[in-house]
Structure 1
Amino acid sequence: MSEEFDFADKGNKIFNETETKGLNPGLIVLLVVVGLLLVFLVGNYVLYTYAQKTLPPRKKKPVSKKKMKKERLKQGVSAPGE
């Protein structure tokens, strides 16, 4: 009967020795993924602000004469030449 207790004690010692020493692998993966996502978002923000400062504004498409005439008629202003 004393042999059973000795075996149980050895089992507990083995269990105690196998406690986690260091970081959880899942936590490491989570930190890497969050870090990459953060770098991606910050990099995009930096590039966006740089582009806003350096690139010229887009040119608007020219409005056709037909569209201008329609808009003036909607506002009640007569088109020139009529």
Structure 2
Amino acid sequence: MGADDFKVPPSFDRVKNAAHDGAAQGFNPGLIVLLVIGGLLLSFLVGNYVLYTYAQKTLPPKKKKPVSKKKMKKERLKQGVSAPGE
């Protein structure tokens, strides 16, 4: 009787290989990439929101553009009020 006479059934061989491969491989590389990109995207969005709220609190309100005399006169005529001096 040689060493070839005592073969392990293929079903047991697969179980041993699966257990060995799972422990050696660790995390899925695709999952790691997905988590890194997701984390960067999330931190970017949260950072933008924080900066936006900070700017809303600290920056002065935008100044409105001055309305020209010509436009004011036009608006008054539309409303039926005569412009002063006419």
TM range (shorter): 0.7 to 0.9
Distance, in Å, in 2 between the alignment partners of 1:37 and 1:30 is 11
* Structure 1: distance between partners of 2:38 and 2:15: 37
Count of residue pairs the alignment pairs up: 79
Q: Which residue number in structure 2 is paired with residue 35 of structure 1?
A: 39
1:66 to 59, 63, 70: 70
| RMSD across aligned positions (CA) | 2.4
Consecutive unaligned residues of structure 1, counting only runs of 5 or more, are none
User: Pick from 78, 81, 84: which aligns with 1:77?
Assistant: 81
Letter in 1 for 2:40: L
Percent of residue pairs bearing the same amino acid type: 73
SS at match of 2:54: helix
Residue 18 of structure 1 is matched in structure 2 by: 21
- TM-score computed with the length of structure 1 as normaliser: 0.77
> Whole-Å Cα distance in 1 between the matches of residues 38 and 50 of structure 2?
18
Q: 1:29: how far off?
A: 0.6
Instruction: Provide the TM-score with structure 2 as the length reference.
Output: 0.74
Shift of 1:12: 3.4
Structure 2 gap ranges (5+): none
Superimposed CA distance per residue, residues 20-78 of structure 1 (whole angstroms, 9 cap, x where no aligned partner): 63211111111111100111111111111111111111111110000000111111211
Distance 1:36 1:23 in 2: 19
Deviating runs (4+, > 3 A) in structure 1?
Answer: 6-9, 11-15
